[in-house]
A and B are shown apart, each in its own frame.
Chain A
Amino acid sequence: MANDPIHQFQISRLVPIEIGGMDFSFTNSSLFMVLTVATAGAFLFLTTSSRGLIPGRMQSISEMSYEFIAGMLRDSAGTGGMKFFPMVFSLFMFVLTANLLGMFPYFFTVTSHIIVTFMLALFVILTVVIYGLVKHGTGFFKIFVPSGVPAAIVPIVALIEIISFLSRPISLSVRLFANMLAGHITLKVFAGFVTSLGALGAVGIGGAILPLLMTVALTALEFLVAFLQAYVFAVLTCMYLNDAVHPGGH
């Protein structure tokens, strides 16, 4: 079982809790959610506690993330979308920190579970739908009818737009989940080759160099993916929020 690449995604109950026949146990997943939130929160809180006019390195990181997300949201959804800034920023920081924490050996990757990423995606889409309906009423449904489309093909286009809208929470969540899952499995498989080949004696140790190099390269790639997927999640969130703010198009 030690070499099983799936084992790292196992959830074990640390504190079993059951309410109304449902299992709400505090699991290792929950523990890493708490760790993610605590790490990100503590970092942002402590690095900004000096409130320096001239930022230090750590304070710069917090400020850069702030301005990075603020710029992203302003570019996609305009100043009207800035009311969603806390949401996009916390989503980005949560996903990024969870992905990066997952890079530690023996750590659990919260975002490698579809239900977690799906809930985050659902949160985004529900925000879009509820805000869009409250703000624009039926005008929100203009997102399904792009302007400038000939009347004859409007039904087809609207159908395609509706399907594309409905698939958004799925694509948003599966993208993040699959990236994290596949990356971690690949990493584990190649790292497994190193130990398996190493057990075969001198020739095996020589041959184990290749998967070892691959593991090193994949680790670097995984760090990139960890950041990239958090970025993609935040960018898509901004673009979907733009629909809620400006349903009539751009």
Chain B
Amino acid sequence: MFVAPAFAQEQAPTDAVPLTHTPPITEGTTEHVEAEHTGVFPPFETSLFPSQILWLAITFGLFYLFLQKVVLPRLGHMLEVRRDRIAQDLDTASRMKEEADAAVAAYEQELADARAKANVIGQEARDRAKAEAEANRRETEAGLDTRLAEAEARIASIRNAAMAEVGGIAEETATAIVEALGGTPDRSAIASAVAAQRS
């Protein structure tokens, strides 16, 4: 690309050929190497269109290929990896949450079971204590009943004995009263009288 100014000057006439807007080329225009000096509004300077088209095609073409082959696959891959990673992390999180929920449920279940079991144990203990107390009470009552019966029997026997002796005492008393009154006690009469009173 080492082009001497002389070469550029050589090209000047051919450069100027496509410039239809410019006046016919004369000897004096040869120093106008730069097309922009022709006075045409630069964006409409048609002589420079081929150069711009060519270099745009080269640069944009290379840019397009570079992006398509290198940059975009890389960016796309990166974003995909991140999306997968986020989805995976969310999955893990939801799975862990499920596990935690299950653990909580199991805990609640165990707690309920333990409570139920405690109730059963308590109920059993209460029932047993009640039964024991009942048995004790029965035993005591039975003991008391027998002692009561024994006492009643003793009272009855004592009373019977006492009642049996009442006749004798009454006869003796009657005899003593009769004697004190100065009579002679008639034992048989007294005994029959006593017996008559008692019956």
Contacts and interface: CB of A to CB of B under 8 A. Distances in A.
Contacts of A66: 72, 75-76, 79
**Chain A CB within 10 Å, residue with most, of B35, B52, B57, B70:** B52
Nearest to A50: B78
A37 B59 contact: yes
A53 B82 contact: yes
Contacts of B52: 11, 27, 29-30, 113, 115-116, 119
Given A23-B48, A94-B63, A12 B34 contact: yes
B43 A16 contact: no
Given A29-B51, A48-B78, A51-B78, A15 B1 contact: yes
Contact of A113 (B1, B3, B43, B71): B43
Nearest to A87: B64
B56 interface: yes
Contact of A30 (B45, B51, B82): B51
B42 interface: yes
B3 A86 contact: no
A140 interface: no
A11 B59 contact: no
Interface stretch (B7-15, B135-143, B157-165, B171-179): B7-15
A146 B62 CA distance: 38
B55 A16 contact: no
A21 B71 CA distance: 38
Nearest to B76: A66
Contact of B72 (A34, A40, A89, A94): A89
Interface of B: 1, 3, 7-8, 11, 14-15, 17-18, 33-36, 41-45, 47-57, 59-60, 62-64, 66-68, 70-72, 74-76, 78-79, 81-82, 85
5 contacts: A25-B48, A33-B55, A66-B79, A86-B72, A119-B57
Given A66-B72, A93-B63, 8 more contacts: A9-B41, A11-B42, A11-B52, A18-B14, A26-B55, A45-B70, A67-B79, A89-B67
